[in-house]
Amino acid sequence: MRPAHPFERAVGIDHYVSDADGVGGRLRSRPEDFRVREREAVSVQPTDADPGSYPDLVFRATLRNWDTNDFASALADRLGISRERVSWAGTKDKHAITTQLFSVRGVEGEDLPDVRGADVEVLGRAGRPVLFGDLRGNHFELTVRDVEAPGNASLVTDQLREFCGGGAGKSDGDGGEGTTVCVPNFFGQQRFGAMRPVTHEVGLAIVRDDYEGAVMAYVGSPDEREPEATREARAFVEETRDWKAALDRLPTQLGYERSMVHRLVENGAESQEDFHEALRAVPTNVQRLFVNAAQSSLYNRMLSERLARGLPFGRPVAGDVVCFTDEHGDPDTDRLQRVDEGRVDTVTRHCERGRAFVTAPLVGTETELADGEQGDIERAVLDEAGLAPGDFERTGEFDSTGTRRAIQVRTDLTVEAGEDDEDDTLTFGFALPAGSYATVLMREFLKADPVDL
């Protein structure tokens, strides 16, 4: 197998599944090159519904060059409310044009302010906030410019079609007519920090009850890809632990880091509980992200080891845990079944028909590990990290019961070349279920530094 980029191996992605060279070129040269539209699953009441019964205003926003968290903060600031009253269905990348669902509690449609780079459409009211479960998936239209080897796209496509295993082929599914392709359902680089992948290190330290180490991983840990002033400030933190002086050095754009350090200056930095409180200085969704990223890195390592052992992704082996589909045909990880030797052939047929999916764990306190060789992989990854499912029992936003996740993602892919010989672009169209990353598919075609994805 072709080895992954070193930056990817740091977050548990060890290989490509396609051996063909990439097409070259650049993704995200401009926001229009990365378009995402959510596939929503939300019912709303009319805008004049009783705000007492339906306190959340639901709206669709098309954002240009907006990080989801930053847009939520800007909206809350304009409204003069806590950011905790703003919710959304899925977090999106900044350098893109994204159409996504939001809600805000306790405001009227006419209260929504104009925000630069945001086109807002009020949909109605709801009795609860928009949540991550309200997102079925996303449709992508991605353009790669300055393509050097467009012919390699068909080679990669063929190899990704083969990775589907049984049942792969031509399809006219959710993405329109195209070739059905499959990739491992890795968590992409964005999950861990696109420029400085450390959020999983923060989470792993939290799970190990090392809150000081978690703060140091986030506020310290200088990276050569960062601006010089940022690297110097992080290095100063690591060398001195002088938190008051660090506030003068940390650039203003490092808002979360500054919030943590400010809390340490207020409360002191003499105990693990002081550092625990510092971590709580950031928004609750960011607190959750730390532990989620730790779970994601362990999951990625389990998938990489399964690849290395040559085990299938599109069908089970004895000991695997599979999930079945929901009413939309998407993986439903509340419907799990452990596959014993006598059920392998039957469940394989379900997988080939798209009715079941092999899973791996996002480890938490209620996780039951697989049996057989997949169980060996899961235990080995946890042993190497020095962790067990019970270690994920923490207070507040750092607690996690865990879940399971399909290990393979399948989509109908279209690839269109530019209109003439001088148009050296390729445009990729596809849809993915909620939680799956477009960059995990595109990395196979570009074979590039993940920062460029």
pLDDT digits (tens, 9 = 90+) for 6-49: 989 999 999 999 999 999 999 988 999 999 999 888 889 999 99
Mark whether 313 and 324 lie in a shared domain: yes
Mean pLDDT of 354-368: 96
* Domain end point (choices 263, 282, 301): 282
Asked about 93 being catalytic, the answer comes back as yes
Q: How confident is the model at residue 232 (pLDDT cuts 50, 70, 90)?
A: very high
Mark whether 401 and 302 lie in a shared domain: yes
Nearest-angstrom CA–CA distance, 179 and 198:
36
- Residue pair 169/425 in contact (Cβ under 8 Å)? The answer is no
CATH number of residue 323's parent domain = 3.30.2350.20
Does residue 33 fall inside a structural domain?
Answer: no
- Residue pair 101/131 in contact (Cβ under 8 Å)? The answer is no
The whole-number pLDDT of residue 90 equals 87
Does residue 41 fall inside a structural domain?
Answer: no
pLDDT at 174 over 90: no
Give the predicted TM-score (pTM) of the model: 0.90
Mark whether 295 and 402 lie in a shared domain: yes
pLDDT at 265 over 80: yes
In the chain, the number of structural domains is 4
CATH number of residue 204's parent domain = 1.10.1510.30
The whole-number pLDDT of residue 147 equals 95
pLDDT at 173 over 90: no
Instruction: Spot the catalytic one: 93, 320, 330, 412.
Output: 93
Mark whether 196 and 210 lie in a shared domain: yes
- Residue pair 164/150 in contact (Cβ under 8 Å)? The answer is no
Q: How confident is the model at residue 287 (pLDDT cuts 50, 70, 90)?
A: very high
Amino acid (1-letter code) at residue 397:
E
Mark whether 415 and 344 lie in a shared domain: no
Does residue 86 fall inside a structural domain?
Answer: yes
Q: How confident is the model at residue 190 (pLDDT cuts 50, 70, 90)?
A: confident
Mark whether 255 and 158 lie in a shared domain: no
pLDDT at 420 over 90: no
Mark whether 292 and 400 lie in a shared domain: yes
pLDDT digits (tens, 9 = 90+) for 48-57: 999 999 999 9
Helix (H) or strand (E) holding 323: strand 321-325
Mark whether 264 and 237 lie in a shared domain: yes
Mark whether 353 and 413 lie in a shared domain: no
CATH number of residue 61's parent domain = 3.30.70.3160
Nearest-angstrom CA–CA distance, 283 and 289:
10
Q: What is the span of the domain harbouring residue 109?
A: 46-136
Mark whether 123 and 166 lie in a shared domain: no
* Domain end point (choices 136, 170, 202): 136
Does residue 35 fall inside a structural domain?
Answer: no
Strand pairing partners for 78? none
Mark whether 402 and 298 lie in a shared domain: yes
**Alpha helices (H) along 224-326:** 228-240, 243-249, 255-267, 272-279, 284-308
Mark whether 234 and 85 lie in a shared domain: no
